[in-house]
Amino acid sequence: MDRSYWRTVLLVTTWQISASICYYTIFAATPFFRDAFGLSRFSVGLVVTTLTLGYALFLLPLGALTDRFGERLTLTLGLVGLATGTVLVAGAPTYALLLAAVFVLGSTYGIAMPGTNKALFDAIEPGRQNLAMGIKQVGVTGGSGISALLITGLAGLFFWQAGFLVAAGVGVAVAIGFYLLYASDSGDGAADYPDFRALLSNRPYVVLTTAGLFLGAALFTTTGYTVLYVEESIGASVGFAGVVLALVQLFGSVGRVLTGWLSDVLPGEPRVRIGLLLVAQSLGSAAMFVVVASTTTELGAAIAFSALGFFVLGYTGVYYSVMATLVRADEMGGATAGGQLALTSGALVAPPTFGYLADTVGYRGSWLFLAAVVTIAAGLLIRVVRTQPTVADPAATETET
């Protein structure tokens, strides 16, 4: 592979890591929010929901702006916006203003998926895009893991907002570097919103995105409550809880790379083999939620959450690989936006529900709730595997090597 390939992958992945460091500060800081503002577990869940709501509402508009003005400009401004939102969260004096700042942070992260995906698909030829996508997706879990260590680690040394300020500084520095070094761009087209009417007639796609609601609910709720659960229920320090969240992200990265590789090398029809991988990840997640619900020691929590991370954070790449077997290449933009919106929308109600259950019946009931959620997703995914696609030339066949 030539230098231009790795240059693009490195720049886009570095951007993704920096953006995720800023965005996932919220998930790592839940114990500090609770202490600083006197929040219930339900109120903590509303913080995560507000973050996700901002992301969901701005995902499609920012995707259209990326098509119009190009990924170089929009990704640069988006990362500056993320850094600004991070500073606003650190300086919020009240719970209401915290929610407002979190909404700003979430809305600016809406540029991440359309911008980075467009960058890779614009600059890299078919047949090499899947590996690039897998590496880039590790930037999400990698950035989140770094954020967990940064927020919880610096809080013990200085004050709880210190990690936010460092994350913001990193974001601004990477934004400047990205603007100066990123060369490929294609911002001369007209801004168009995805044509969802055509996609709604594709039944397997609709079922897959419905499953995405449940998958996203489990993913975002897991990252939002790991630190708080390990601190409160296991009785560990916040620093150790941050390490556990970092392990969740690390093993999630391993899951993304491994299942992406398996998607390429396993025999059989792409829709079936990749779909069954996603089913296996969903069922594995359900099993590990049950294990986490029974964990009582620090070592047990570290092991259980690491395994959970492999499954529940490892399926986003495979989710989009399944999607590519169901829609045409010229539909992938709208399909990706719809799929990401489904994942994100699933996180709008699940974190407060998890928090409410934790407040009323205990954390065990909350984790079992998530086990049921991903089991439902697995059932929907089995239907996707068993249903023939409605298009004759899906995008996946055009990028196979």
Task: Say how many Å lie between the first and final Cα of the chain, rounded.
Answer: 14
The listed range with the strongest mean pLDDT (26-30, 72-76, 203-207, 334-338) is 203-207
Confidence (pLDDT) at 191: 45
* Mean of pLDDT values over 330-347: 75
Mark which of 182, 213, 247 sits at the end of a domain.
182
Residue 188 lies in a domain: no
Q: Amino acid identity, residue 71?
A: E
- Measured CA to CA, the distance from residue 118 to residue 186 in angstroms comes to 9
Residue 172 lies in a domain: yes
Give yes or no for a contact between 357 and 45, defined as CB atoms under 8 angstroms apart: no
- Measured CA to CA, the distance from residue 290 to residue 367 in angstroms comes to 7
Answer yes or no: do 288 and 146 share one domain.
no
Residue 190 lies in a domain: no
Could you tell me the two tokens for 54? Answer: 């901002």
Helices 41-69 + 112-123 axis angle, to 10: 40
| Averaged pLDDT of the chain | 83
Give yes or no for a contact between 263 and 273, defined as CB atoms under 8 angstroms apart: yes
Mark which of 182, 207, 230 sits at the end of a domain.
182
Answer yes or no: do 87 and 139 share one domain.
yes
Answer yes or no: do 168 and 201 share one domain.
no
Confidence (pLDDT) at 190: 47
Could you tell me the two tokens for 2? Answer: 């030539």
DSSP state letters, 229-284: HIIIII---HHHHHHHHHHHHHHHHHHHHHHHHHHHHS-S-HHHHHHHHHHHHHHH
Confidence (pLDDT) at 392: 67
Residue 19 lies in a domain: yes
Answer yes or no: do 12 and 158 share one domain.
yes
* Mean of pLDDT values over 65-69: 73
Angle of CA points 237, 97, 367, to nearest 5°: 40
Mark which of 121, 152, 182 sits at the end of a domain.
182
Answer yes or no: do 144 and 95 share one domain.
yes
- Measured CA to CA, the distance from residue 170 to residue 162 in angstroms comes to 13
Q: Among 148, 140, 145, which residue's Cα sits nearest to residue 164?
A: 148
Contacts of residue 274, Cβ cutoff 8 Å, sequence gap at least 6: 263, 318, 321, 322, 325, 396
Give yes or no for a contact between 325 and 261, defined as CB atoms under 8 angstroms apart: no
The DSSP symbol for 231 reads I
- Measured CA to CA, the distance from residue 152 to residue 24 in angstroms comes to 12
Q: Among 3, 61, 6, 390, which residue's Cα sits nearest to residue 206?
A: 390
Could you tell me the two tokens for 3? Answer: 């230098």
Percent of the chain's residues with pLDDT above 70: 89
Whole domain around residue 94: which residue ranges?
1-182
pLDDT higher than threshold 80 for residue 347: no
* Mean of pLDDT values over 169-182: 90
pLDDT tens-place string over residues 19-63: 999 998 888 888 888 888 888 878 887 888 888 888 888 877 777
- Measured CA to CA, the distance from residue 242 to residue 248 in angstroms comes to 10
- The CATH number for 359's domain is 1.20.1250.20
Query: CA of 134: how far to CAs of 116, 176, 190, in Å?
Result: 12, 25, 29
pLDDT tens-place string over residues 127-174: 565 667 777 777 887 887 788 888 888 877 788 888 889 999 999 999
Position 401 confidence tier, pLDDT thresholds 50, 70, 90:
very low
Residue 319 lies in a domain: yes
Domain count, the chain: 2
SS3 percent helix, strand, coil of the chain, rounded to 5, is 80, 0, 20
Residue located via tokens 């989140």: 144
- Measured CA to CA, the distance from residue 331 to residue 157 in angstroms comes to 49
Answer yes or no: do 106 and 205 share one domain.
no
- Measured CA to CA, the distance from residue 269 to residue 144 in angstroms comes to 34
- Measured CA to CA, the distance from residue 331 to residue 146 in angstroms comes to 34
Answer yes or no: do 214 and 173 share one domain.
no
| Torsion angle of C-alpha atoms 56, 86, 232, 42, degrees rounded to 10 | -40
Residue located via tokens 């999607």: 323
Residue 191 lies in a domain: no
Residue 83 lies in a domain: yes
- Measured CA to CA, the distance from residue 209 to residue 236 in angstroms comes to 37
